[in-house]
Amino acid sequence: PPPPPPPHSSLLLPPHTPSLSPMSASTPAEEADDTVATVAAEPLVPAGISDVFTYKSLVHAISGATGGITAISVFFPLNTARIRIQVASSEEAKGLVQTIQDTIDEEGVQALYQGWKSAVVAIGSSNFVYFYTYHLLKVAARKYTDQKELSTVANLLVASIAGVINVLTTSPFWTVNTRLVVQRKKAMKGVGSKLQYKGILDAFWQIARDEGYRGLWSGVIPSLWLVTNPSVQFVVYERVRLIMERIAEKRGRRITPLEFFFMGALAKAAATLVTYPLQLAQSKLRVDKEKKYKGTVDVMIKIYQKSGFKGLFQGIQAKLWQTVLTAAFQFLTYEEVKYLVFLFLLGPKKVPKASE
């Protein structure tokens, strides 16, 4: 006869190990699976939490921040030109190339990089928060729904929540960034050429002193509305990525950097076309020191009354060039950095797929 099993003691089992009592309703196979999963988890961490707050979310966050910083640095002159076009009146607004040329002629090449430091801080922190939160919420949602892939609606909801958290935590950085970029343009119209803000910390201090802390969150309402932009962008990107990953599996090699570039460009172009009037209102509100606008809707109404429907898309050419190229390069860098980090940590056979 087989030897009797050793006496059971819960003190000998890892934390949260399922009971092996005959009264247990689960089958031996289920109990074995649960035990393996529990042993693999970190001790003293409640079931589920350790699966959500993982190093994978941190890898996504670091990769997203790296991609954003790299992309904004490469295409920063386009960003400067785009903001200047948006905040200009309809009579003063010019094309992308002409705006860049005029800026160089009047203020020098360095003017195209005015606010670069604050943009790096803003995009780095913003991407870190967004990518970490988005991946964390996506993992939690998959566990809650017990599905490997989220539906489009669920994915859109997860991306929107991540966007709201991102906006509320990083909006002051973007307000400061916008002020630093446009201040040279404003100084040329006023008396003297002295810059109002000396840097990031000085801009924070002056805005808080002169406009109150609410001034640092000026434009936060359209920014909250604009969570639809990254939400649409990420949902489109995720869907295209799943399709491309299936194609890559059939052909026997991973998605190429060039394909990642075009996937990111497609996703951002779709999101930008849908949400551009709100982005224009956001830029106007962030530089509205005289408080001539009552809010997002008021901005759009006044723009429409003055310049018609065309005015709501003032500067969209520059916006598309800047954001589409930046987003495409960002996703390319994000995917490659993420792949290399997971490759180093897990090896080639365990690199997570798009749905993971």
220 confidence band (pLDDT: 50, 70, 90): confident
Q: How many helices and strands, by DSSP H and E, does the chain display?
A: 14, 0
Residue 307 CA to residue 142 CA, distance in Å, equals 46
| Cα Rg of the chain (Å, integer) | 25
The interaxial angle of helices 152-189 and 76-87, nearest 10 deg, is: 70
- For residue 116, the tally of other CB atoms under 10 A from its CB is 19
Identify which of 165, 164, 163, 201 has the alpha carbon closest to the alpha carbon of residue 180.
201
Residue 112 CA to residue 114 CA, distance in Å, equals 6
Q: What is the pLDDT of residues 239-282, one digit of tens each?
A: 899 899 999 999 988 899 999 999 999 999 988 888 888 888 87
Residue 248 CA to residue 133 CA, distance in Å, equals 28
pLDDT score of 108 more than 80 = yes
CB 52 within 8 A of CB 134: no
pLDDT score of 62 more than 90 = yes
pLDDT for 7 equals: 45
Distances (CA, A) of 291 to 263, 298, 299, 347: 40, 11, 11, 56
pLDDT for 200 equals: 86
DSSP 5: P
pLDDT score of 320 more than 80 = yes
pLDDT for 6 equals: 46
Residue 163 CA to residue 69 CA, distance in Å, equals 18
pLDDT score of 10 more than 50 = no
Identify which of 300, 68, 85, 307 has the alpha carbon closest to the alpha carbon of residue 181.
85
Identify which of 261, 241, 235, 272 has the alpha carbon closest to the alpha carbon of residue 331.
261
